[in-house]
Homo-oligomer: A and B are copies of this chain.
């Protein structure tokens, strides 16, 4: 009857280090999340007080806690050792850990944070899909499509050709950087428009419609370019295959969606336990993300398609509301991580070899603005329309541009000056768009729809 004596005490002794190791990984992850949330909220709120999009502040917050400054949030794949991370040094002191254990904890903690960041982009793109409305496109129709296509083609061509011609860049990084110039941020653009009270104007409708199409095009471009980066060469057949499969995947899932919609609502209505709507929807997004990954597209494309499909259901509003808190806690992990991984040190003009990066950044910013501003003049059959406002409305990059920077950096296709130049381009287009749009719409600054900004900035700390 003595089932315990044989193996319990030895196994306690044998597994205690492992259990401790797990506890320290957990402590490391919890502390890292605290740093990420503090950085994102401090940055986001500061940004908001300055009437800039909060996402910008989250990114800058990441830069502050990351490799460029405080060294709290470091990643081994950039070549950092556990001893380079202030967080790991803290854990070492708290737990009296040796270097080998610490290296393993650093590795595991970074792995977990990286996957959480990837789940963050997946949820973000799922949410963007849910917020995108295919019916809106019907109304603004032709004009929006023309603006979107020109707004993708012009900066892509200008950027890629310019980088190859002027900077003698190899083709793949040039294409990647050109692709990062394409996608307008729906979130930032529609937020800026609503803050200026122009969301429902003809210009506003065209901008939002174009931004939706632009986002789809941008993600197809991303999938194409990221796959190209993996194979390491420009294979025209592969490009055609990828454009085909990306389009087929997206359009196929939308068409299939018309059928799946009803099953989805029927399933969600039948479920009686907690998460009756959320879990099937989230599972669907994960399945689509897996599927996209397995057919060599990006996981986020699947999540976006899942969002577009579920946006067509009656449950859309309820689902949107439930996905929001999940996005609130996961998405900042992505933006702060992107900021933390960006080594802005390469843009220090005091170092001679960095000046190339700064020149590239300047070039990218000019192309990013010009390539979008021209789209206003592509609008036909609307003589009364404010062309400059439409073009300027397409300028802010944001999420998708940062996704390019992150994936380009992770796959190693972007070197640090170019990655940093893209991030600077995203930051600056996002920075410049709100005042430029105010000016283009030739109106005195309207009151924002949300609470008025106050001077004092509070620390959103939890201590």
Contact = CB atoms under 8 A, between A and B. Distances in A.
A134 interface: no
A461 to B, nearest CB: 7
A47 to B, nearest CB: 8
A118 interface: yes
A1 B112 contact: no
Interface in A1-51: 1-5, 7-9, 11-16, 18-20, 22-23, 25-27, 29-31, 33-34, 37-38, 40-41, 44-45, 48-49
A119 to B, nearest CB: 8
Interface in A274-329: 274-275, 278-290, 293-294, 299, 322-329
B77 A18 contact: yes
Contacts of A37: 279, 282-283, 286
A286 B34 contact: yes
A80 interface: no
B325 A4 contact: no
Contacts of A463: 284, 287
B284 A1 contact: no
Nearest to A460: B280
Given A41-B271, A173-B8, A279-B37, A114 B22 contact: yes
A404 to B, nearest CB: 15
A313 to B, nearest CB: 13
A115 B267 contact: no
A23 B325 contact: no
Interface stretch (A136-144, A151-159, A382-390, A405-413): A405-413
A108 interface: yes
Contacts of A396: none
A434 interface: no
Interface stretch (A196-204, A216-224, A447-455): A447-455
Interface stretch (A162-170, A234-242, A367-375, A436-444): A162-170
A356 B7 CA distance: 15
A381 interface: no
A458 interface: yes
Interface in A320-379: 322-329, 332, 356-357, 359-360
Contact residues on A (Cβ < 8 Å of other chain), bracket: 35 or more
Given A37-B282, A415-B11, A460 B271 contact: yes
A148 interface: no
A262 interface: no
A273 interface: yes
A54 interface: yes
Contacts of A271: 41, 45, 458, 460
Interface in A232-274: 232, 266-267, 270-274
A294 B230 CA distance: 42
A456 interface: yes
A462 B284 contact: yes
A82 interface: no
A459 interface: yes
A278 B232 contact: no
A35 to B, nearest CB: 10
A100 interface: no
Contacts of A326: 325-326, 329
Interface string A115-129: 100110000000000
Interface in A82-134: 94, 108, 111-112, 114-115, 118-119
B26 A293 contact: yes
A66 interface: no
Given A27-B290, A271-B460, A458-B270, A3 B283 contact: no
Given A230-B16, A329-B279, A267 B168 contact: no
Interface centre among A324, A329, A415, A451 (most CB of B within 10 A): A329
A118 B463 CA distance: 22
Name the 3 nearest CB pairs between A and B, nearest first. A284-B462, A15-B412, A275-B328
Given A9-B172, A27-B299, 10 more contacts: A2-B168, A3-B356, A12-B232, A18-B412, A27-B293, A267-B459, A270-B458, A275-B325, A283-B461, A324-B325
